[in-house]
Amino acid sequence: MIEINEVIMFIVGAGLFLFIRLNAHYLTGIPHIKILTISFYILFTAFILTILEGLFLEDIINFLEHICYALSSIFLLIWCYAVLIRKSVS
C-alpha cells in the first residue's frame, strides 16, 4: 500500500531532480558536485523504489530501497570528507 508521505517525498524529490537538471551549469561552482549529485540521484531512486514496493515484489524492492539509502549516505559522506576535511588538512 502506498502512503501519502511516500508520494509527497517523491514529489519533492522530483522537483529537486528537475531543479538540478535545469541548473546544472550553475552548480558547477560547488566543489565535487558530481559526488553530491550522485548521492542525490541514488536517494531519488530510493524514493521511486519506496512507491514501487507498495505495488509489487515488496521484499526485494524494500531491500533495494535500503541499499540505495545506504549508498546515498556513503556518497554524501565522501562528499563531506572531500569538501570539509580535506580542505582543512590542505
Residue matched to cell numbers 588538512: 89
At 19, list the grid cell.
Answer: 531543479
pTM for the predicted model, two decimal places: 0.88
Q: pLDDT digits over 5-47, tens only?
A: 999 999 999 999 999 999 989 999 899 999 999 999 999 999 9
Q: Torsion over CA of 22, 76, 58 and 17, rounded to 10 degrees?
A: -10
* Residue-wise DSSP of 3-72: -HHHHHHHHHHHHHHHHHHHTTTTGGGSTTHHHHHHHHHHHHHHHHHHHHHTTS-HHHHHHHHHHHHHHH
By the 8 A CB rule, do 84 and 65 touch?
Answer: no
Tell me the mean pLDDT in the region 54-67.
93
On the question of pLDDT at 85 being above 80, the answer is yes
pLDDT at residue 90 in the model? 54
